[in-house]
Amino acid sequence: MNTPTKPLLTEAVMFFSERGISKEMLYPEFEALLDGLVSAPEYADETVQAVFLQINTRLHVRSAVFFNIDFDLDGYVNRLWNLPLRQIAERGDRGPDMGGGPIRLVCLGFNKQPQYRPMLWKPGTRANSNDLALIKEAVAHNALGILGDDEETIRYIAPERLHMAAEDTWYGGGQVNDADDLIPLTNTPPPPPPAADEQQQLRDRHAQEVRELRKQIEALGTRLKAMVLEKEQALVELKGIHADHLEIVQGELLDIKQELAEQQRINAALKRELGKYQNKTASDLE
């Protein structure tokens, strides 16, 4: 008897603005941001609210970590930013049912790991829509091009089936154990699911974006290698210049030591002559 395989999960990151979700990307693209291979100029000098998601092949959210991320003046992720999103998600509490059963949720006030609290935020409402509903709608639209295993992959689940943990249980990292503790989350009716040809267009566009991103990464890698080689050559030249300068300084120091020794010899001779003169003068006076 074959052991059933664990459903595959796609990892993604979504960024929020005042109007809702402003950017979506698969986790490898987010890693390129963290590694400094690409920048996000639209977020320059900002602290952005984002969510790390694990999504199964039926387009159901299984884990969500709501975190803040800082960008510098050039749109690169702050080098001091460090948050192990996968490990945090694995230790998440039982959260709302977003269509595929209760998810693992980590956010401000709903977190067992207090050391990460300053870097988390709590989902709420913006642009007359709940953040969780916005995530569910975005995942269902599948702009990320996640491939499913059956027709349910593109089936849109009605928002009225979305439940979230009661807000008073979000603080203190409490565990939600009973279905009665969940309250329904209402929202405006969703748009109809995209047609099959639109799905294919989204997948093609995503594939093109991934190809372009890979080209950018390769170009940046080549540029980085060239910069490293240039720095190594500059270091070799600098070492040569330093060696020449050190040789000159050592030569000058040797000359100074020789001059000092000669001056000391002359001073000693003068002292001897002065002593003889003083003794001769004393004899003459007597």
Task: State pLDDT tens for residues 175-187.
Answer: 444 334 434 444 4
**144, 12 Cβ separation under 8 angstroms:** yes
Q: Is residue 65 part of a domain?
A: yes
172 residue type, one letter: G
Phi, psi of 44 (to 5 degrees): -55, 130
Residues in the chain: 286
Q: What is the pTM of this model?
A: 0.53
Q: Is the pLDDT of residue 26 over 50?
A: yes
Spatial distance between the Cα atoms of 78 and 107, rounded to a whole number of angstroms: 21
SS3 6: coil
* Inside any domain, residue 21: yes
| Boundaries of domain holding 177 | 9-194
Residue 18, CB-side half-sphere exposure with 13 Å CA sphere: 1
110 assigned to some structural domain: yes
199 contacts 142 by C-beta, under 8 angstroms: yes
Flag the least confident range among 40-44, 185-189, 277-281: 185-189
Instruction: State the total domains in the chain.
Output: 1
List pLDDT tens digits, range 43-86. 999 999 999 999 998 999 999 999 999 999 999 999 999 999 99
Cα 90 → chain centroid: 19
Residue 113 lies in a domain: yes
pLDDT at 134: 95
Q: Give a yes or no: residue 4 inside a domain.
A: no
